[in-house]
Copies of this chain bind each other. A is one copy, B any other.
Amino acid sequence: MKKYLKGDEWNIIEEGFHAEFNKVSESIFSLGNGRFGQRGNFEEYYSGESLQGNYVAGVYYPDKTKVGWWKNGYPEYFAKVLNAVNWIEIDSWIDGERLNLADCKILMFKRILHMREGYLERRVIVELPSGKQVEIHAQRFCSMANNRMGVIQYSITPLNFDGDIEFHLGLDGDVRNADANYEEHFWEEVEQREDDGSQFLTMRTKKTGFEVCVGFYYSAHLDGQQLEGGQQAINRDQYVGYKQKVEVQTNEKLTIYKYVSLISSMDIAKTCLLNESKVNISTMKKRSYVDLLQEHQDAWKKKWNESDLIIKGDVSAQQAIRFNIFHLNQTYTGEDERLNIGPKGFTGEKYGGATHWDTEAYCIPYYLRTAEARVAKNLLLYRYRHLEKAIENGEKLGFSDGAALYPMVTMNGEECHNEWEITFEEIHRNGSVAYAIYNYVTYTGDRRYLADYGIDVLIAIARFWSQRVNWSEEKQAYVILGVTGPNEYENNVNNNWYTNTIAVWCLNFTIDVLREIEVSWNEDYQDVLTRTNFKADKEIDRWKSIIRQMYFPEDKVLGVFLQQDGFLDKEQVLVKDLDPKHRPLNQKWSWDRILRSVFIKQADVLQGLYFFEEKFDLETLRRNFDFYESRTVHESSLSPCVHAVLAAKLNRGEQAYELYLRTARLDLDDYNNDTEDGLHITSMAGSWMSVVEGFAGMRVRNDLLSFSPIVPKQWECYSFMMNFRGIVLQIEISENSVQVSNKSADADLLIGLFDDTYTVRASCKIEIPNKKSGNEEKIAY
């Protein structure tokens, strides 16, 4: 836990340089625009602790897998997000002395992430070993208005000397992934080109053959006066750049503008990459830095108008939630169905492949509610496009006849992960892919999606479950053996309640959707049967038999569902009785000890109660929540949010607030001591969920959007923007009232508040008294 950043409603501020946390700061101060992004590295050379990181969406490398003991069925490759060309370099020699903050005395240091405007700023005053003092002022952004563009404004001012400054501006393609399994270099150079004062470097990934062309030009100014001439090209292997030496006098400010174009072969045919890059550079040359920054800020303004969440009376919570929203919007903009949300976004390399079940379970709800439907739809189509690969993956594991198992971790639809207990056994992920379809059509009302795309995925998933169960003579029921549930602190268990529940739900939902297609789009129904080679009677009969006779472990005496068979054989101890020196368990205990203990990493039974809450009454939720939460150590970043939502539903504001804090400031406070590897992007969606689904109690049932809010007592009030079926809404909640504003110019909307419904007219606001206290007691047993 670290507390070195300043509280502020709109900005993240580091005052004074915390060299020891620099890698943490680099993660926190990351920038991105959905197409590319980068860690908050310094522009100038820095020999201290740093993880240099630049990433381009969708560009990956299949790194050869590293395993201790090979198991049949493991994937041979692990698709990794790639550290790409470093384009921020602005390196300076002052009278021949290289500027390196690690060598300097830091007289002033301030790093600010301007979240509203979307740029990173740094002001530094340092004294070099020679005694020379300079002031640095840097600003940069990855443009949201033109997502092929990054710009830096960088100035140096000598404070106590006259002398010369030689600066080097480069594009460096000789970068490596810190997490490469065999320290291989994943890139090779395609070409270098200098053209009309611009340098271009095209790099290609080995094996996958992605190409990325980065180009730049720059201008240098002395006290606002542009310098003409004097630049010298630098070209060496995998590197292009310019250098220039300038005489400067005390207090004269040397300012450099570095305008960068970055385009990958994801978007432009390789043969056109260089040309398109030149065009992009020409476009930039026609505008000033100020213009470009303004366009970028305008794009961010639009983002905030759709997704801001305001908390009054709690600066720390306000800063945190905006930090989460900011990074979610930087990571994924929903323009390309081939992209997804990596666990670290553009802020680090860890966990390699982009896509986990986090996307379906945590991220889709966020994008669904804060953006137009196409954004979430693209995340669904991503899985739809991978269906064939998911079926192949199923075949690799012994399934047949079009049964799909979606990968645990993937980039291109192929499985990347290779721990058998996860890769082969954490099969509930298949359920969340189906659940996301349900979530999408429920929220958007776009039911055509089911007939056009959804049903193919659903049938393939239903087929998987149908083959994955087996009949137990002993239990006279269907069982699902050998799985890992969402709680990864259990492996290879039998009859994980959550998995059995979502499996049956998938079968039911698929049958319902088939019926809906048959009824609503009968002309498409036959096509569905044909293209999926569906044996309607036979397959549905089997599914129904499984639905009817599935086994669900539960304990009637305690009145709780059992996480898995044998759960009550464990020693029943509670987290509150755990000696703090044993925590976090995953760093203190050997794996077997974790496995046989009762302690839970993240919501498991409770994940099911969250997904399928309509099926269970409040008493059932309460009993299960109290039983399981008291055994949960929340050692996954995805854990607290689901618990926060459920606690709020149980009207326990205090507990919900505690849980919310753990997720919202996870990275800002480096709660788990791992922010240096990158931010927990996917769990950021969970923070948002905690507020909107948790405190505000947002739900959609039968096409009705409703709220049942509470206010944590630490907050005066809070409000947030939502997009429901094309209508932008603002919800404002205080202890006394709930207000809903309909920002649409022409559409009215029926909404639910507590137990009543109200029509909110276009461009109008309604206000009703708040009815919930959020004061119920927690019971631990």
Q: Which residues of A contact B (CB under 8 A)?
A: 65-69, 71-73, 396-398, 418-421, 424-425, 470-475, 479, 481-482, 491-495, 565-566, 568-572, 586-593, 595-596
Q: How far is the CB of A426 from chain B (nearest CB, A)?
A: 10
Residues of chain B lying within 8 A (CB to CB) of residue A589: 72-73, 398
Partner of A424, one of B73, B492, B590: B590
A475-B67 contact given A73-B590, A590-B396, A592-B424, CB 8 Å threshold: no
Residues in B whose Cβ lies below 8 Å from that of A420: 590-592
Determine whether the beta carbon of B592 is less than 8 Å from that of A425. yes
Minimum CB–CB distance from A591 to chain B (whole Å) comes to: 4
A569 near B419 (CB under 8 angstroms)?
no
Establish whether residues A566 and B568, one from each chain, have CB atoms under 8 Å apart when the complex forms.
Answer: no
Residues of chain B with a CB closer than 8 A to A398's CB: 589-590, 593
Residue of B at shortest CB range from A571? B470
Please measure, in the bound complex, the distance between the C-alpha atom of A219 and the C-alpha atom of B733, giving whole angstroms.
100
List residues of chain B with CB within 8 A of the CB of A475: 569
Partner of A72, one of B67, B69, B73, B587: B587
Name the residue among A421, A475, A588, A592 with the largest chain B CB count within 10 angstroms: A592
Copies in the complex: 2
Assess the A71–B590 pair: CB atoms within 8 A: yes
Are B482 and A595 in contact, CB atoms less than 8 angstroms apart? Answer: yes
Nearest-Cβ distance from residue A629 to partner chain B, whole angstroms: 20
Q: What is the minimal beta-carbon distance from A672 to any residue of chain B, in angstroms?
A: 15
Complex Cα spacing A493 to B494, Å? 10
Contacting residues, chain B, for A492 (C-beta < 8 A): 421, 491-493, 595
User: How many whole Å from A468's CB to the nearest CB in chain B?
Assistant: 9
Complex partner residue of A397 from B69, B569, B590, CB under 8 angstroms: B590
From known contacts A482-B596, A569-B494, A592-B420, infer whether A68 and B71 are also in contact, taking CB-CB under 8 Å: no
B569 engages A72 (CB within 8 Å):
no
Q: Is the interface of A mostly helix, strand, loop or mixed?
A: loop
> Of the candidates B425, B481, B570, B587, which one forms a contact with A470 in the assembled complex, judged by CB atoms under 8 Å apart?
B570
- Give chain B residues whose Cβ lies under 8 Å from the Cβ of A472: 568-570
Are B481 and A397 interface neighbours, CB within 8 A?
no
Bound state CA distance, A481 and B69, in angstroms? Answer: 24
- Within the complex, what minimum Cβ distance (angstroms) separates A660 from chain B? 29
18 more CB-based (< 8 A) A-B contacts, given A66-B66, A424-B590: A66-B67, A68-B68, A68-B418, A72-B586, A72-B589, A73-B589, A73-B592, A398-B593, A420-B591, A424-B592, A472-B569, A473-B568, A474-B568, A475-B569, A482-B595, A492-B493, A494-B569, A565-B566
- 30 inter-chain pairs at a CB distance below 8 angstroms, sorted by A residue, are A65-B68, A66-B66, A66-B68, A67-B67, A68-B68, A69-B419, A71-B591, A72-B587, A72-B588, A72-B591, A73-B589, A73-B592, A398-B590, A398-B593, A420-B591, A420-B592, A424-B590, A424-B592, A425-B592, A470-B596, A472-B569, A473-B568, A474-B568, A479-B569, A481-B566, A481-B595, A482-B595, A494-B566, A495-B569, A566-B566
A397–B572 Cα distance when bound, in Å, is 20
Query: Chain B residues near A586 (CB, 8 Å)?
Result: 72
CA distance A643 to B53 in the complex (A): 59
Q: Bound state CA distance, A482 and B593, in angstroms?
A: 8
Q: Contact at B396–A596, with CB atoms within 8 Å? A: no
A482 CB, min distance to chain B CBs, angstroms: 4
**In the docked arrangement, what's the CA distance between A471 and B570, Å?**
8
Query: When the two chains form their complex, are residues A591 and B473 in contact, meaning their CB atoms are under 8 A apart?
Result: no
Q: In the assembly, what is the distance between CA of A398 and CA of B596, in Å?
A: 13
The interface centre, meaning the residue of A418, A472, A491, A596 with most chain B CB atoms within 10 A of its CB, is A596
Instruction: Give the residue name and chain of the B residue nearest to A584 (CB).
Output: B72
Assembly CA distance A593 to B586 (angstroms): 27
- Please state if B396 and A482 are interface contacts (CB–CB under 8 Å): no
Would you give the shortest CB distance from A470 to chain B, in whole angstroms?
5
The answer for the CA separation of A572 and B472 in the assembled complex, in Å, is: 9
A405 to chain B, nearest CB (A): 10
Distance in angstroms from A493 CB to nearest chain B CB is 8
CA distance A67 to B568 in the complex (A): 33
Q: How far is the CB of A631 from chain B (nearest CB, A)?
A: 14
Q: Which of A479, A481, A590: most chain B Cβ within 10 A?
A: A590
List, in ascending order, chain B residues with CB within 8 A of A572's CB. 473
Across the interface, which residues of B come within 8 angstroms of A419, CB to CB? 68-69
Cα–Cα, bound, A473→B420 (Å): 31
- Which residue of chain B lies nearest to A586 when distances are taken between CB atoms in the complex? B72
Q: How far is the CA of A424 from the CA of B589 in the complex (A)?
A: 11
Give chain B nearest CB distance to A688 CB in angstroms. Answer: 30
A424 lies within 8 A of B568 (CB): no
Partner of A569, one of B65, B67, B474: B474
